Structure 1
């Protein structure tokens, strides 16, 4: 046998030779046999498509509350915490991917199930439900604030449609959210593969950049005209209440980076899944840059008058040429961005609810009745929440302080400690066994 004509193969997994996980599998496998079931042939998602989908998962409503965190923390600690949280997120995702590879799990839920059993998997599913329902309610609240207006501290901030056409029943908050739900959310939420959303994800990232560019341009213009005051660089802590207020920003910062529930789904559809680490770091770098720029220039522009939802600030006279037009452009671009982000966050929400309620049922994509029932129920719940929860700050403090922290940091750390402990015990057991054999061998020689 000759070896001269044999070419070495690359250590690379191609999607053309790796089947894609069925829609039921990405977050919800219960054991390895289920992980391998329900696959179909798929050419694979591109690097850019994966980056757009993950970036869209990250850059959602959290960006609108970040300028308000600068008001609480000051610029220097605020920006430092944004960057620090990005590094923590990268580390936690790396832990998830590393142990998923070693345990051959193709999902976050599968890894939790392998590590802690079915109750660990169910706990993750519940946390994803709480987090994603809260985030999607925030999206709807912001869209309602932007298009139909909001009232904060007794001051009414008119929406775009209210400013254009006046107050009518059809541009009220409930009507606008109902129309948006039926015309935008429902059709996009009906797509059954996450890669099908790559074009809307790319457009949503572009709209977020449009929002950022306009905000930076307005702030720079006002800086040169001398109408921007020096912002507070550090927090104003003068009593116990102001000290405890500093901790209210933690849920916002945590929620801003939560994307862990979609990492495995994106990884499973990649043409070359060795690129997932590069996808994660590229997305985090892009999103961190957008977060820092938005926080900096948003707080510079509005100072201590920055609202919990900074979009609500763009309803006043900016004191620049075409100010009214720019206000509308900023608000409409970001409202459209959130409309396109909605389905990328809704995707894992529906999967987790299905896995929690119907763990032994056939794949969700093959049961149209169950798919429609879950989708309709979740959208209805989110719609009701958006009409009764008054502020995005209230929603962020609840979801960010509970489910988001668990998904992003507590569960990855728990998986790491659990598996490292199991490996250590196994090594100690093997060493003890070897030592026992050696002792018996020496005894037999005597």
Structure 2
């Protein structure tokens, strides 16, 4: 992609790339006079309503169907209030990331910055001791982003495989196979379709996936809200030792921070993103409400028998329920390619300069094939949807959604003021403690459960 050379009259980078503009350049004015919103050249800006739906879609997906299983680990009451707490923390971390991105864009005199460039610019313009770490930060954030996408797509693989097993076990009860076999069957079609390299060709698949998810959600609600058992049939509180799996699952379900910056950067009216009411707050209130309701009533309906996706608990002998299982498998199947687009782009950006131009096509094919194989291998290694969601949420989604925004805001504010009584520092210290709690306890609980389950299965 060719970029126009900067000029004094229009000295900004519309694509969020590295800026060559210094902060004190003569003739431009102070940074307080620069409004990034006035320097965004967006070819096809998104309306406020359109941005709302994009952000809503990023937070609603297979994670919504996993919330009843998350409630199983805490019980009804902690699960309900825990969902609200996770939503508040996730929303706050998105808020501070976007606010920091806007502030550093103003200082660097660029229209906008993407997630990675925001982090890099903060370190480059932060405390002198931290400036040499800017390159490391770029690598860390890019790999964290790729890890979120690859980890999430591994969950998709096991989600699809579990749905296929559920369907085929009903139609062919005499031929039952382990879920790992279905993961292997998915390998070839996933490799072939992941070779699509242009996002515009994936738009029809995205529309179809959204339609399938909507129908699945309606059908799931139809069964969930029928004949709900008495509250006495479920646990109001469960052992605190099981709560970490709830936290990591809830974070996996709600975190859509990897798409937040693209959505905000392409808004026609970016001032409508933050604030009250704003796109972010309205979206997260709706998301938290849906997750709390689905988690609460799904757990009430199926109790401790609820599976990693509530669709797996739907009746096997009813056409409507069977249609929902098929549709959700198709929806996640086509969503897989959309989620793979970002990590493929990140990795290829890093690899292409190391490969001869005449071998770029072969290099892309090999990279995409190996990446798909990696997601399938991870799914086969942990062929339990509920436990894999917990592990991926604890490691990848918490790092991208909690750790990085908190660190970036702290570094940015360090020399610019941490607020009255350094409240930003204390607040972020508490958020970092929460991140460490999720990371350590979530990993420990997930890995322990995985070892116990598969040790008892195979030995």
| From 107, 118, 122, the counterpart of 1:115 | 122
Separation in 2 of the partners of 1:20 and 1:161? 50
SS at 2:415 equivalent: helix
CA deviation after TM superposition for structure 1 residue 146, in Å: 0.6
After the TM superposition, which of the residue ranges 384-393 and 400-409 deviates more from structure 2? 384-393
CA deviation after TM superposition for structure 1 residue 421, in Å: 0.8
The runs of 5 or more residues in structure 2 that have no matched partner are 1-11, 22-39, 106-111, 124-133, 419-459
**Is 1:393 equivalent to 2:398 in the alignment?**
no
8 Å Cα contact 1:56/1:341 also seen in 2: no
CA deviation after TM superposition for structure 1 residue 351, in Å: 2.9
Separation in 2 of the partners of 1:185 and 1:49? 31
**Is 1:220 equivalent to 2:201 in the alignment?**
no
In structure 1, the partner of 2:198 is 192
| From 147, 150, 156, the counterpart of 2:164 | 147
The runs of 5 or more residues in structure 1 that have no matched partner are 1-17, 149-158, 237-241, 317-322, 426-446
Note closer, same or farther for the CA distance 1:75–1:189 as it changes in structure 2 (3 Å cut): farther
| From 233, 240, 244, the counterpart of 2:241 | 244
Within 5 A, what are the aligned runs for 1:282-301?
282-301=282-301
**Is 1:255 equivalent to 2:252 in the alignment?**
yes
SS at 1:423 equivalent: coil
CA deviation after TM superposition for structure 1 residue 161, in Å: 2.8
Cα root mean square deviation, aligned:
3.5
Separation in 2 of the partners of 1:374 and 1:415? 31
| From 133, 141, 151, the counterpart of 1:124 | 141
8 Å Cα contact 1:143/1:338 also seen in 2: yes
Separation in 1 of the partners of 2:90 and 2:335? 20
CA deviation after TM superposition for structure 1 residue 189, in Å: 6.4
Within 5 A, what are the aligned runs for 1:45-56?
45-56=46-57
Separation in 2 of the partners of 1:110 and 1:299? 41
Give the number of the structure with larger relative contact order, counting CA–CA contacts within 8 Å between residues 6 or more apart: 1
After the TM superposition, which of the residue ranges 307-316 and 134-143 deviates more from structure 2? 307-316
SS at 2:255 equivalent: coil
In structure 1, the partner of 2:86 is 85
Separation in 1 of the partners of 2:48 and 2:399? 28
Note closer, same or farther for the CA distance 1:61–1:313 as it changes in structure 2 (3 Å cut): same
CA deviation after TM superposition for structure 1 residue 167, in Å: 5.4
Within 5 A, what are the aligned runs for 1:39-438?
42-104=43-105, 105-116=112-123, 117-148=134-165, 159-166=166-173, 176-177=182-183, 180=186, 182-183=188-189, 186-187=192-193, 190-193=196-199, 200-223=205-228, 230-232=232-234, 234-236=236-238, 242-277=239-274, 278-315=278-315, 324-357=318-351, 368-424=361-417
Separation in 2 of the partners of 1:372 and 1:261? 25
Separation in 2 of the partners of 1:140 and 1:33? 43
Q: TM-score, normalised by structure 1?
A: 0.71
Separation in 2 of the partners of 1:418 and 1:307? 42
Q: TM-score, normalised by structure 2?
A: 0.69
SS at 2:79 equivalent: helix
Separation in 1 of the partners of 2:326 and 2:197? 24
CA deviation after TM superposition for structure 1 residue 33, in Å: 4.8
Separation in 2 of the partners of 1:85 and 1:100? 23
